[in-house]
Amino acid sequence: MTTILSVKNLKKDFNDSGQKAVNVLNGISFDVEEADFIAIMGPSGSGKSTLLYNISGMDQPSSGEVVLEGQNIGGLNQVELADVRLHKFGYVFQQPHLIPSLTVKENIILAASIRNKKVDSVIDEKAKNLMELTGINELADRDTMSLSGGQAQRVSICRSFMNDPKLVFADEPTGSLNSKSSEAIMNLFVDINQKGSTIMIVTHDPLVAAKANQVWFLLDGVLYQKERLGPWDKSQASVMARKNKINDIMSEIEV
């Protein structure tokens, strides 16, 4: 498999009102390969979201390297980094952050139209295909204020894949959803990953993490353990086996 992202000795410190620096990430290193689906778990305060933000160009690490396809993005200026975020990365957050003055389709195509300076037939067709994949094609002309939480998150997922990103980062994307909507959203991530997309997701929910093919556990800012779960199998026995394995590791960490 092709390595698309390499993280080398990543550290992140926070200074609290002039007090001693707090070490949140303590020298983390790993590689992400094409078509990986990685769930990041760990106790509260272990550095999960901080890690995601620092490898995705949303924040700057204190030291270390984040290398995307051979390029250290830590050495880029703000304009160059914004270009990487627009063209190479996709983002899905716990809250969809849709623009209320735009329709569903307009929200989805916004980033792609910025990239291409206009809306053409290719962008239009891509949006239609993503809306069909996520089951929201009938909502294209709806205003976003009338959407349910699950529908809004589907719009966010469509938007994140419009520019064919090398890697999509998702921070607790099911955190504000009920169990039915959460399962539907994660099934979408599975389907999209099986089509070749690379995904990294932060979650506290073992059932959500069980959909990934790898689960990485953080503890005190260190990558404590990597667990390969293998390809997704939706049988109830497989789901429970994966969930139980995750719970066992989390129990060890939280002792």
Residue 11 has pLDDT above 80, yes or no: yes
* pLDDT value of residue 222: 95
Task: Give the number of C-alpha atoms closer than 13 A to the C-alpha of residue 193, restricted to the C-beta side.
Answer: 26
CATH of the domain at 139: 3.40.50.300
Find all residues with CB under 8 Å of 220, minimum gap 6, and list them: 26, 46, 47
Give 79-90 pLDDT, tens digit per residue.
999 999 988 999
The H-or-E segment that residue 195 falls in is none
Q: What is the mean pLDDT of residues 102-115?
A: 89
| Total domain count, the chain | 1
| Contact assessment for residue 66 and residue 7, using Cβ atoms and an 8 Å cutoff | yes
24: nearest Cα among 47, 57, 55, 48: 47
Number of alpha helices (DSSP H) and beta strands (DSSP E) in the chain: 8, 10
Q: What is the mean pLDDT of residues 145-169?
A: 93
Cα torsion at 44, 48, 54, 56 (round to 10°)? Answer: -140
* pLDDT value of residue 210: 95
Residue 112 has pLDDT above 90, yes or no: no
* pLDDT value of residue 246: 95
Q: How far apart are CA 163 and CA 224, in angstroms?
A: 33
Give 37-60 pLDDT, tens digit per residue.
999 999 988 999 999 999 999 999
Looking at per-residue confidence, does 116 or 70 come out higher? 70
Structural domain harbouring 13: 3-253
Find all residues with CB under 8 Å of 154, minimum gap 6, and list them: 134, 135, 136, 185, 188
Give 131-148 pLDDT, tens digit per residue.
998 999 999 999 999 999
| Contact assessment for residue 199 and residue 192, using Cβ atoms and an 8 Å cutoff | yes
* pLDDT value of residue 116: 66
Q: Is 143 exposed, middle or buried (0-12, 13-18, 19+ CB in 10 A)?
A: middle
Q: What is the mean pLDDT of residues 117-124?
A: 77
| Contact assessment for residue 195 and residue 35, using Cβ atoms and an 8 Å cutoff | no
pLDDT band at 155 (very low <50, low <70, confident <90, very high): very high
Residue 255 has pLDDT above 60, yes or no: no
Average pLDDT, the chain: 91
* pLDDT value of residue 113: 81
* pLDDT value of residue 18: 64
Radius of gyration of the chain (CA): 18
